[in-house]
Amino acid sequence: MADDPNSDVNGNGRRDVAVPMELYKSITVFSTLLAVVFVLLAFVMFDAATLGRSFVRGVVRDAFGVVGLSVGGQPLTIAFALVGFAFLVTGSGIYILGSRFRATEMGNAKHEAGEE
């Protein structure tokens, strides 16, 4: 990877991929959007895990009831908490992954310090 002039590991040991400006805009907009949505969903799940009268919790409990299953409160809480953490990690991951891309025009601190 280091032989590709446009993608390399820079001084901080962070991978850095140069992409066209148009693609960079899509990455910024959609990765931020997805990250926000996932973090919000994570908090909805945490609510469902900890709040007895949570809407999501009620819906899931009823859905199990419809198919004739009754799920105890404890397993439901654990499941919601785990899903919540998964969403949180996913959201952070999307955001972090988005931060390694930069537009070719932007330059980076190490190589093109004199730019601007």
Partner 1 sequence: MSLERKDDHDHKGWMKERDLTPVESVYLTVLMWLDKRLRIVDYLEILEDLYYKVNMQMPKSHTEQYNLDNKFWYWYPLYALGSFSTIAYVVASVSGALLGFYYSPAAAGASGSPTVAYEQITFIMTDLNLGFFLRSLHRWSAQVMVAAVFLHMLRVYFTGAYKEPRELNWIIGIVLISLTMVFGYTGYLLPWDQLAFWAGQIGVEMALSVPVAGEWAAQLVFGGFTLTHATLQRMYILHVFFLPFIATTVIAIHIGIVWMQGIAEPH
- Residues forming contacts to partner 1 in the complex (CB under 8 A) are 1, 4, 6-7, 17, 19-20, 22-23, 25-27, 29-31, 33, 94, 97-98, 100
DSSP class of 13: S
Q: Provide, rounded to whole angstroms, the least separation between the CB of residue 5 and partner 1.
A: 10
* Contacts of 110 by beta carbon, 8 Å cutoff, 6+ apart: 10, 11
Q: Provide, rounded to whole angstroms, the least separation between the CB of residue 60 and partner 1.
A: 27
- Encoding tokens for residue 70? 């009754």
Residue 22 vs 62, nearer CB to partner 1: 22
Cβ(104)–Cβ(6) below 8 Å: yes
